[in-house]
Structure 1
Amino acid sequence: MKPVELYIKTTCPYCQRALQLLDDKGVRYSTVNLLQFPERRDEMIERANGRTTVPQIFIGETHVGGFDDLNALEKAGKLDALLA
């Protein structure tokens, strides 16, 4: 399984929904909490091609986007293939 990394804020409901979706699928992931590490925000923006909102989700080298993008992949049946 490819590594999954999320830039989040613990106060963000969309971040919590993304984490819950991944938990429900049994996906292991790492997080960067921008409230705890605000100096990593510029890194996230660069990796996310200018996107500034959280969550920003990466599967391997692929930038998925935010929760809506992750959820759309799941509903389309394409998330498992991307994770493999």
Structure 2
Amino acid sequence: MAKKQSFFSLQSLKMYLQFYINENGDKVYTTKKESPLGLATQSAHPARFSPDDKHSRQRFLLKKRFGLLPTQQAPQKY
């Protein structure tokens, strides 16, 4: 007799959408972890966002150190 799976065990089986770039430069969406060419696929889901940014100070200091702040750039010409 086949074993019945519980609701909780089915919930843990998640399929994440992945994508890879084909020969024409188009995104091809799949649930597989590897493209037909043998390359790893990338996640099609955005990274998690948290309004509590714990690393903003370090990010600001690095941009300031390497001259990447908008105030350190030449003005844009319109």
TM-score range, shorter chain: under 0.3
Structure number with the bigger relative contact order (C-alpha 8 A, sep ≥ 6) is: 1
Q: Which has the larger share of strand? A: 1
TM-score for the superposition, normalised by structure 2: 0.24
Q: Which has the larger share of helix? A: 1
TM-score for the superposition, normalised by structure 1: 0.23
Larger Rg: 2
